Amino acid sequence: MAHLKRQFPNPKDLAQLMRFKAPVWNARERRLNEALTIYDLREIAHRRTPQAPFDYTDGSADQELSLARARQAFEDIEFQPRILRDVSDLDLSSTVLGKRVSMPFGIAPTGFTRMMHAEGEIAGSQAAEAAGIPFSLSTMGTRSIEEVAAAAPNGRNWFQLYMWKDREKSMALVERAQAAGFDTLLLTVDVPVAGARLRDKRNGMTIPPALTLKTITNALPRPEWWINFLTTEPLAFASLGSWNGTVAELLDQMFDPTVTFEDLKWIRTQWKGKLVVKGIQNVEDAKLAVEAGADAVILSNHGGRQLDRAPIPFHLLPETVRQIGKHAEVHVDTGIMHGQDIVACIAKGAKFTLIGRAYLYGLMAGGREGVDKTIDILGTQMTRTMKLLGARSLDELEPGHVKILERLAEKR
Instruction: Compute φ and ψ for 90, nearest 5 degrees.
Output: -130, 140
pLDDT at 284 over 80: yes
pLDDT tens digit sequence for 87-105: 999 999 999 999 999 999 9
Instruction: For residue 68, count CB atoms less than 10 angstroms from its CB and return exposed for 0-12, middle for 13-18, buried for 19 or more.
Output: middle
Q: Which fold has domain 35-404?
A: TIM Barrel (3.20.20)
Asked whether 56 and 247 are in contact (CB, 8 A), the reply is yes
Residue 280's closest CA among 255, 304, 302? 302
Residue 302 annotated as catalytic: yes
Domain ranges of the chain: 35-404
pTM to 2 decimal places: 0.92
Residue 191's closest CA among 331, 305, 330? 305
Q: How many CB atoms lie within 10 A of CB 193?
A: 11
**213: number of CA atoms within 13 Å, CB side?**
0
What CA–CA distance (Å, rounded) separates 313 from 325? 15
pLDDT tens digit sequence for 24-50: 888 888 899 999 999 999 999 999 999
By three-state DSSP, how is residue 77 classified?
strand
User: CB within 8 A of 36, min separation 6: which ones?
Assistant: 377
User: CB within 8 A of 134, min separation 6: which ones?
Assistant: 96, 101, 106, 107, 128, 155, 156, 157, 158, 184
Phi-psi region of 6 (alpha: psi -120 to 50; beta: other; left: phi over 0): beta
What CA–CA distance (Å, rounded) separates 16 from 310? 57
Q: For residue 9, what pLDDT band results from cuts at 50, 70 and 90?
A: confident
% residues pLDDT > 70 (the chain):
91
What CA–CA distance (Å, rounded) separates 27 from 198? 34
| Catalytic hit among 117, 302, 315, 331 | 302
